[in-house]
Structure 1
Amino acid sequence: MLTLVPSAEQQTIKLFVSDMTCASCVRRVEKAIEKVPGVSRAAVNLATEKADVTFAGTADAAAVAAAVRKAGYGVAEDVLEFPVEGMTCASCINRVEKALKAIPGVIDATANLAQERARVRFFKGAVSFEDIAAAIERTGYKAISGATAILAEEDRRAADAGILRRDLVIAALLTAPLFVMEMGAHAFPAFGHFIHETLGMQTSRVIQFVLATLVLAGPGQRFFRKGVPSLLRLAPDMNSLVVIGTLAAWSFSTVATFTPALLPGGAANVYFEAASVIVTLILAGRYLEARAKGRTGEAIRHLAGLRAKSARVLRDGKAEDVPLESVVPGDIVLVRPGERVPVDGEVTEGSSYIDESMISGEPMPVARKPGDSVTGGTVNTTGSLTFRATRVGADTVLSQIIRMVEDAQAAKLPIQALVDRVTQWFVPAVMAVALLTFGIWVTLGPSPALAHALVNAVAVLIIACPCAMGLATPTSIITGTGRAAELGVLFRQGTALQTLEATDIVAVDKTGTLTLGHPTLTEIIPAEGFSRGEVLALVAAAEVHSEHPIAVAIHEAAVREGAELPAAGGFAAISGQGISAIVEGRKVQAGSVGFLDSLGLDPSVFAADADRLAAQGASPLYAAIDGRLAALFAVTDPVKPTTKEAVAALKALGIEVAMITGDNRRTAEAVAAKLGISKVMAEVLPDGKVAAVKALSVDGAKKVAFVGDGINDAPALAAANTGIAIGTGTDVAFESADIVLMSGDMRGVAIGIALSRATMRNIRQNLFWAFGYNVALIPVAAGFLYPAFGMQLSPALAAGAMALSSVFVVSNALRLKRFRLPFHKGDLA
């Protein structure tokens, strides 16, 4: 938390420092901090892992963090996300972000107009929510605390939409007679004559004054509450444009009604209907926009709705229903047929079939028995289960999925940088154009020049409100990532939406990605002097200590055949090549052909069999016992049923598919041929996958996405332009990836690329509409067409066009909800 000490010239910040182990660490950190310019005192506490840093002037948390990290220690970071009330346009986003980034200790901050939320990354301990709320409040907006937001955000949005609807109805009821009286008289001279004969011109104008004043003071006051303070702070926003425009029209009309002598001859016209219609149409646009924006977040609401509300837990030998928040790891949880599994856990009793379609996308329930894991949010279909809770709250798979989707939806894509630069100066520029328009028309316009100048200047102010610009990108991101989550593709990094679109090559690890990842021993060919059973028992005993899939396959085959496995000692694994162990006093070695070469053994006796097996897609493994070639093992890892369709879908999208594998070339090429993959990089050791990815990129000329599932894939996932982890893989792979496929289905890669392209196309359409609309209509509103065609854009029409632009952008983004799969639906329908 940022703490100001009594002296006005000093500031103190607190940071959390990690990796300290002793008093000497403390001193090193203190010395490093004291060297930072402006630091007058540093006190580091090993027990609390906190550093209290006092500055003689303005605090610079970033400089302190850099010094601590340079000294070899870590500085903890934190992220806070919360709703912000009052943001209405792109310029609001810029102001909120600028205010947040100015807080000492804040690393980065983004605001999202579509979600009406802000996300702040800061040095843990250096910033509190109170600091953030105060900074936002100074800009004229309001931050809502996370605790309140979690429970009340949906209610708040619903209440806001209700208030908008009420204000719209009131404004419409007051504006309708005003519009009929003024515009009806222009459209139908007979009706105008009737009004003048019955009410009289002055009475008609007074009635219009009353109605327009009620609209501005009632439903329209929301614009004044936000717009006037923004003007006073010299930071005008969209509300400020509406305030200036409507107030100018109302003020001019009021003078024309009650003191017409103050105006030049022929200029005493009234525009009360313009002021009222502007407010009514903008309220209509905001109401439709609010309803549409509510639909963009349906994916998150759907995921959150999968959570169980309570859990049946054994407490003191009795089963009782408790709130989900009360479940802790180690609790014994009971799930009856038809109930949702409340938290993640491991089955201890019973057996059942679980519908895991929310995770895997597979419609068929899967069997679960003691020892198997269950996931919170899935549905127990048949039998009763008892399981031990292992992960609860924010640690469950479902919570992590929701967090990934939220993180992606809060992201700001590189394409947004252009929007930010433009909108930073957009509103002031519009006000300048409106002022210039007014000056030109007053000076050079036809009589009554003042009336023409007012109409055109107000039209410019209203037509150029930048609401659509602020919504163009975030609404598409929210809808696109939400649709992706529904299809089992989780964007961990929102920026991956843009990088994935440009993918030229998809590089794929074979085992566990293209294949099932559960190899099976299919054949053993013993060498002369060795028996099949003897070799199997010795090699399986040695492979017990290895976690390699081929080792597991050999061990499982030995267990199935009832072989007795003696104890093994002296185990050693040579990464990517083979293993060595001592079994019953005999030296057992097993591995690739390259491993055999390194041992000085000649495997040519098995050459014909090895070629035959490799051609069938099997992986050959050689065994040596006591320094003699003993056997050839054939292990086959079946290709996943959907892999061929996935490869075909990628090729249809114009993507080249490359296989990177540690298998020998014959085996790899046999698998690739079955799948239609033309580029194969075989016999690649784990630490060579990064080099393989870089080679495919041709020095950055091509964009590469790497797909993998194992620990040894993590470096390649990080090195690729886009890393895609298979959801059935390891946590390490997830952390290194930009995208996670929740099921092991490679078709998710095609879904991700196709959806990325659709989302980016949608964003460009929105930006084109938002920018193009302003570029095209500001000159029209300014009156450029009047000299040639006698055309003027009414402020009321300008308000309608402005409101419709925002509705169009949001509605266009919602089309992504109808995104169709780039292949036959199959199991993912």
Structure 2
Amino acid sequence: MSCAACASSSQSILQDQVGVFSAEVNYATQQAVVKYAANIVQPHQLKTAVQNAGFDLLIEDLKKDKEKQKEIKRKQFKQLQFKLIGATIFALPLLVIGMFFMDVPYANWIMFVLATPLVLYFGNSFFVRAYQQAKIKSANMDTLVALSTGVAYIYSLFVLFFPDFWHARGIHAHVYFESAGIVIAFVLFGRFLEERAKIQTFDSLEKLMGLQAKNLWVIRNNQEIEITIDEVLVGDWVVVKPGDKIPVDGHVISGSSYVDESMITGEPIAVAKQINDTVYAGTLNQKGSFRIQANKVGSQTLLSQIILKVEQAQSSKAPIQHLVDKVSKIFVPIVVAIACLSFFVWLFLASQNGFVLGLNAFVTVLVIACPCALGLATPTAIMVGMGKAAEKGILVQDAESLERAQHITTVVLDKTGTITKGEPSVQATYGLQAPEIEVLYSIEKQSEHPLADAVVNYFKDETRYIENITIENLVGQGVKATYFNDTFWVGNLPLMEQNKISIPIDVLDWKNNRKNLAETIIYFAKNNNLLGVLAIADAVKATSKNAIDHLQKMHIDVIMLTGDQYETAQAIANQVGIKTFKAGVLPDEKAAYVKQLQAQGKVVAMVGDGVNDTNALAQADVSLAMGKGSDVAMDVAQMTIISSDLDKIPQAISVSKQTQNTIKQNLFWAFIYNIIGIPIAAGALYFYNGFLLNPMWAGAAMALSSVSVVANSLRLKFK
């Protein structure tokens, strides 16, 4: 496809096929998304229909399709490069003669010799594609180029071979060989710059794809062997050496190291990995070595899913793009009509040289008009913006979500797993001594209580497990344990009171000083004596408070909804600076609350991580899921924060605003360029100051308009 009109044309062809429900063709990504009834129409029939219009459709399996697409693009780019070099060799002397030495002997014949290969060989693709479009009663950018250069070239041939025809009618006719040839060269130059710039818009995606390992080492038959990434199986033991890219998603079964997960999470600091820790394909192992068991391979890995989602998002269309598509569809016919009108106005109203002036206007209007800039304005900005978000660890599902995020006025946050870590952990201890800690650790190791794991994880690196301890789980209270002749109690305050264990004043003071921290206090006693206490809580994430402060400084209201009790919710809200919160909220009530906010005219973003948040996520204007949360929440959400850190929410809003500003700038310049350029090309300034635009400079302006739009989109990379 050579312009936005091509995308509209091929989209219409696909939509017109029997059995197709909808089709969207993206000019920038060169991809079509088609929904069709498989029992009525098959992809090969769609391919044939598109081929009849002069395009092509790749319908092979995804991996082969991408490789084939890359190969075709490489071949096309090399061919374009060859044609540009050849065209430049002929265009430079043509430009010099046409501008400065048009009166030298045989100038017209020299220009004919130089222009002919430019138009008929280096520019032949414009005429071929214009003819293919004409066959299906459509028109595109190639139509404009072919019409303008073809008319200029044929008219010049007539002047060259039949000069007496014009002399007999009192007209001193000029040839337009230089305009026809140099316009071809300028358009090729513009296409070359445009294609090279478009390649850069895929950089983020290419970086992600480049993270995928091609080979890896696995343990089979007690030997290390090297295999390709396609041969690895779920359950394989994979050896990861220093400096290796981790090839699959899995968990560490031996060894340890630090892993750079920045391209997955957006976080620059390497993460320590030990036995049972999860690792992801595409992340980079640093100095240590370890072995992992493969849990997800191939297209199931997190990296593959990220790549797929980014590709799908980049191919989606922002709502404003549908308006641009409609304009692009009628753009070329309107331009041809304006060009014809300009010709006849000059022909009938100009007292002298009306035909020559009209022909100049006709050619110049066709050359300067640029549907490419309109077609590229939105998708290039979307592609760069989506890639930028992915680099920051924010996966955006589609362009509509990215556009809507800039309008967010209220952010509703779930508590557990969103503001907090979602993993209870020991926050502080009081009075515990080393010998008793071993007993406590060993009791909790056997306990079925939900908070027991927090105690075990807290002490696991500094103590040892004692056998011969028998325990009895006391539902709703804690644990009773026997070790030799002593009885130990681990549990809540009622358990202590029931067994007549007194709580010293200093412990009560310590507990009262922590009453606003949403913690659960665990008591540990031996026989009738209290040995110590522990405070356990679902800790607030390190980034939560800063993220909430940032959102509030952006004049966005932040509200917390949680199913927890009021005291816990209040304590968390106080810690992170949230003024409005609701406790004891059921899943359906979360969605109803979001709906209530929307009824007040607010644009609501819901942020959650669990199955209980899915109703509210589906109801919200913009939904964000935590990457470490449930798969259901991520499926429903329009954006996924891979690292699960709330500081990505302000970043997502910033990316949205920057992307939309870039789209508006691109569309403004694309429309203004055509609105100003076409009248000037038609000769609007001639009667004011005698200025008439030369077609070859119109060609240069047209080429640069597309490049400027893509270049403006690329600025997003550096923001």
TM over 0.5: yes
CA contact (8 A) 1:312 1:322 kept: yes
Distance verdict in 2 for CA 1:102–1:738, change over 3 Å: same
Residues 1:388 and 2:293 aligned together: yes
Counterpart selection for 1:479 from 384, 394, 406: 384
For residues 222 and 318 of structure 2, the distance between their equivalents in structure 1, rounded to whole angstroms, comes to: 53
CA contact (8 A) 2:522 2:536 kept: no
Residues 1:733 and 2:633 aligned together: yes
- 1:218 aligned residue: 121
Secondary structure of the corresponding residue to residue 415 of structure 1: helix
Secondary structure of the corresponding residue to residue 395 of structure 2: strand
| Bigger relative contact order (CA 8 A; separation at least 6) | 2
- 1:778 aligned residue: 678
- 1:204 aligned residue: 107
For residues 452 and 175 of structure 1, the distance between their equivalents in structure 2, rounded to whole angstroms, comes to: 24
Residues 1:102 and 2:2 aligned together: no
- 2:2 aligned residue: 88
Counterpart selection for 1:722 from 622, 626, 651: 622
Counterpart selection for 2:552 from 651, 657, 660: 651
Distance verdict in 2 for CA 1:256–1:557, change over 3 Å: closer
Q: How much does 1:553 deviate?
A: 4.4
- 1:747 aligned residue: 647
**Mapping of 1:414-433 within 5 angstroms?**
414-433=319-338
Distance verdict in 2 for CA 1:567–1:212, change over 3 Å: farther
Higher mean Cα deviation, 686-695 or 448-457?
686-695
- 1:138 aligned residue: 52
**Mapping of 1:163-174 within 5 angstroms?**
163-174=79-90
Q: Name the aligned partner's letter for residue 210 of structure 2.
A: G
Q: How much does 1:127 deviate?
A: 4.5
Secondary structure of the corresponding residue to residue 339 of structure 1: coil
Q: Name the aligned partner's letter for residue 149 of structure 2.
A: T
**Mapping of 1:404-443 within 5 angstroms?**
404-443=309-348
For residues 765 and 674 of structure 1, the distance between their equivalents in structure 2, rounded to whole angstroms, comes to: 41
**Mapping of 1:525-564 within 5 angstroms?**
544=449, 553=454
- 2:668 aligned residue: 768
For residues 409 and 254 of structure 1, the distance between their equivalents in structure 2, rounded to whole angstroms, comes to: 47
For residues 305 and 509 of structure 1, the distance between their equivalents in structure 2, rounded to whole angstroms, comes to: 35
Residues 1:689 and 2:603 aligned together: no
CA contact (8 A) 2:141 2:370 kept: yes
For residues 640 and 426 of structure 2, the distance between their equivalents in structure 1, rounded to whole angstroms, comes to: 30
Distance verdict in 2 for CA 1:700–1:101, change over 3 Å: farther
Higher mean Cα deviation, 788-797 or 393-402?
788-797
CA contact (8 A) 1:522 1:635 kept: yes
Q: How much does 1:816 deviate?
A: 0.7
Secondary structure of the corresponding residue to residue 560 of structure 2: strand
Secondary structure of the corresponding residue to residue 320 of structure 1: strand
- 1:818 aligned residue: 718
Q: Name the aligned partner's letter for residue 643 of structure 1.
A: S
- 1:13 aligned residue: none
**Mapping of 1:149-164 within 5 angstroms?**
149-164=65-80
For residues 274 and 457 of structure 2, the distance between their equivalents in structure 1, rounded to whole angstroms, comes to: 20
Q: Name the aligned partner's letter for residue 678 of structure 1.
A: K
Q: Name the aligned partner's letter for residue 144 of structure 1.
A: L
Q: Name the aligned partner's letter for residue 546 of structure 2.
A: E
Residues 1:235 and 2:138 aligned together: yes
Q: Name the aligned partner's letter for residue 220 of structure 1.
A: G
- 1:17 aligned residue: none
Distance verdict in 2 for CA 1:769–1:551, change over 3 Å: farther
Q: Note the alpha carbon deviations across 1:26-66, whole angstroms, 9 max, x for none.
A: xxxxxxxxxxxxxxxxxxxxxxxxxxxxxxxxxxxxxxxxx
CA contact (8 A) 2:441 2:465 kept: no
Distance verdict in 2 for CA 1:146–1:567, change over 3 Å: farther
Runs (5+) with no aligned partner, structure 2: 431-439, 482-490, 493-507, 524-532
Distance verdict in 2 for CA 1:537–1:233, change over 3 Å: same
For residues 111 and 123 of structure 1, the distance between their equivalents in structure 2, rounded to whole angstroms, comes to: 18
- 1:358 aligned residue: 263
Distance verdict in 2 for CA 1:428–1:384, change over 3 Å: same
Counterpart selection for 2:27 from 92, 106, 113: 113
Q: How much does 1:164 deviate?
A: 1.6
- 1:515 aligned residue: 420
- 1:181 aligned residue: 97
Q: How much does 1:538 deviate?
A: 12
Counterpart selection for 1:642 from 527, 543, 555: 543
For residues 568 and 106 of structure 1, the distance between their equivalents in structure 2, rounded to whole angstroms, comes to: 62
- 1:37 aligned residue: none
For residues 57 and 189 of structure 2, the distance between their equivalents in structure 1, rounded to whole angstroms, comes to: 26
TM-score calculated relative to the size of structure 1: 0.75
Residues 1:446 and 2:348 aligned together: no
For residues 370 and 107 of structure 1, the distance between their equivalents in structure 2, rounded to whole angstroms, comes to: 50
- 1:260 aligned residue: 163
Q: Name the aligned partner's letter for residue 14 of structure 2.
A: L
**Mapping of 1:547-586 within 5 angstroms?**
553=454
For residues 644 and 446 of structure 1, the distance between their equivalents in structure 2, rounded to whole angstroms, comes to: 76
**Mapping of 1:6-17 within 5 angstroms?**
none
Distance verdict in 2 for CA 1:689–1:124, change over 3 Å: farther
Q: How much does 1:801 deviate?
A: 1.1
CA contact (8 A) 1:541 1:555 kept: no
CA contact (8 A) 1:491 1:497 kept: yes
- 2:207 aligned residue: 302
Q: How much does 1:683 deviate?
A: 2.9
Higher mean Cα deviation, 325-334 or 653-662?
653-662
CA contact (8 A) 1:542 1:583 kept: no
For residues 214 and 304 of structure 1, the distance between their equivalents in structure 2, rounded to whole angstroms, comes to: 41
The percent identity for this pair of structures is 38
Secondary structure of the corresponding residue to residue 517 of structure 1: strand
For residues 237 and 709 of structure 1, the distance between their equivalents in structure 2, rounded to whole angstroms, comes to: 47
- 2:182 aligned residue: 277
Distance verdict in 2 for CA 1:430–1:389, change over 3 Å: same
Q: Name the aligned partner's letter for residue 89 of structure 2.
A: L
Runs (5+) with no aligned partner, structure 1: 1-86, 187-191, 526-534, 572-578, 585-589, 592-607, 624-631, 820-829
Q: How much does 1:111 deviate?
A: 1.6
- 1:468 aligned residue: 373
For residues 777 and 285 of structure 1, the distance between their equivalents in structure 2, rounded to whole angstroms, comes to: 17
CA contact (8 A) 2:587 2:615 kept: no
Counterpart selection for 2:308 from 378, 389, 403: 403
Q: Name the aligned partner's letter for residue 810 of structure 1.
A: V
Q: Note the alpha carbon deviations across 1:583-632, whole angstroms, 9 max, x for none.
A: 99xxxxx99xxxxxxxxxxxxxxxx9999578623156999xxxxxxxx9
Q: How much does 1:504 deviate?
A: 0.8
For residues 791 and 328 of structure 1, the distance between their equivalents in structure 2, rounded to whole angstroms, comes to: 71
TM-score calculated relative to the size of structure 2: 0.86
Q: How much does 1:481 deviate?
A: 0.5
For residues 704 and 420 of structure 1, the distance between their equivalents in structure 2, rounded to whole angstroms, comes to: 29
Secondary structure of the corresponding residue to residue 319 of structure 2: coil
CA contact (8 A) 1:540 1:565 kept: no
Counterpart selection for 2:239 from 316, 334, 345: 334
Q: Note the alpha carbon deviations across 1:632-691, whole angstroms, 9 max, x for none.
A: 996433222222221222233332222222333444334333333232223323332112
Q: Note the alpha carbon deviations across 1:559-579, whole angstroms, 9 max, x for none.
A: 99989785769x9xxxxxxx8
